[in-house]
């Protein structure tokens, strides 16, 4: 089972808010001042932040995998040389 991080939750909530805003705006329910017009931009910022956080985590995970791969290949070469 995959652990759900806070950045995943923020990403999906921001995407949901953006989708709801687009639907309500296109149906004409939102005729509002400029403050409410900023909702899609704020949602986009949160989405970008969540994606950035996921890339940072992915980079850390890849670095750990690379270290483990180097360790295992070094160990394997040592065994092969001892044969």
In the chain, where the domains are located: 7-82
Q: What is the pTM for the complete model shown? A: 0.49
Q: What is the mean pLDDT of the chain?
A: 80
Q: Of the candidates 13, 14, 11, 21, which has an alpha carbon nearest to the alpha carbon of residue 55?
A: 11
The per-residue pLDDT for 1 is 57
**For 36, left (φ over 0), alpha (ψ -120 to 50), or beta?**
alpha
- Residue 27 pLDDT greater than 70, yes or no: yes
- Residue 34 pLDDT greater than 70, yes or no: no
**Residue 63 in tokens:** 């670095």
3-state secondary structure of 1: coil
Residues whose CB is less than 8 angstroms from the CB of residue 18 and which lie 6 or more positions away in sequence, other chains included: 39, 40, 43, 44, 47
């Amino acid at each position: 089972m995959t652990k759900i991080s806070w950045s995943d939750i923020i990403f999906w909530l921001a995407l949901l808010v953006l989708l709801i805003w687009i639907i309500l705006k296109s149906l004409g329910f939102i005729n509002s001042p400029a403050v409410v017009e900023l909702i899609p931009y704020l949602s986009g910022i949160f989405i970008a932040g969540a994606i950035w956080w996921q890339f940072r985590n992915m980079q850390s995970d890849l670095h750990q995998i690379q270290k483990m791969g180097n360790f295992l290949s070094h160990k394997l070469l040592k065994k092969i040389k001892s044969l």
